[in-house]
Amino acid sequence: MTRIKGGVMALKKRNNMLERAKGYRGVRSKKKNFAHEALMRAGRYAFAHRKDKKTAFRQLWIVRLNAAVRATGHKSYSTFIAKLKKNNFALDRKVLAEFASEHPEVFERISKQVV
């Protein structure tokens, strides 16, 4: 059997990696080993930060809801959520926070029904 050299595929793999690392600073976008390391690290951070983003948004919704809830006369966010669950409202924090900031009249009606 004849020998097949792997230069074409190796070059293709290297070029694809460098293409993905385009825009990185310095040698991280020029050299294969540094680009590979940077891409692996970027992937780990991207995974972790996708999880962190969910936490950050939930905290933001809670802060917005707390401000809106206190403005409508309820004691606090936690008591408002407890009353929602008791009255079987199936709205999550994201939707409630959007109502509170974008459509205050709708949120006002919801908070009056919760009492």
Q: How confident is the model at residue 4 (pLDDT cuts 50, 70, 90)?
A: confident
Tell me the C-alpha distance between 25 and 12, whole Å.
22
User: Is pLDDT above 80 for 43?
Assistant: yes
Q: Report residue 10 CA to chain centroid gap.
A: 35
Q: How confident is the model at residue 115 (pLDDT cuts 50, 70, 90)?
A: confident
Q: How confident is the model at residue 49 (pLDDT cuts 50, 70, 90)?
A: very high
- Count of residues in the chain: 115
Going by the DSSP 8-state scheme, the letter that residue 27 receives in this structure is: G
Structure tokens at 58: 């939930």
The Cα-based distances of 102 to 22, 56, 57, 73, 74 in angstroms read 39, 20, 16, 19, 19
pLDDT at position 69 = 94
The Cα-based distances of 98 to 3, 20, 60, 72, 106 in angstroms read 64, 36, 11, 15, 10
Q: Where in the chain are the domains? A: 7-114
Give me the mean pLDDT over the 42-51 stretch: 95
Check if the beta carbon of residue 71 is closer than 8 Å to that of residue 101: no
CATH number of the domain located at residue range(s) 7-114 in this protein: 1.10.1900.20
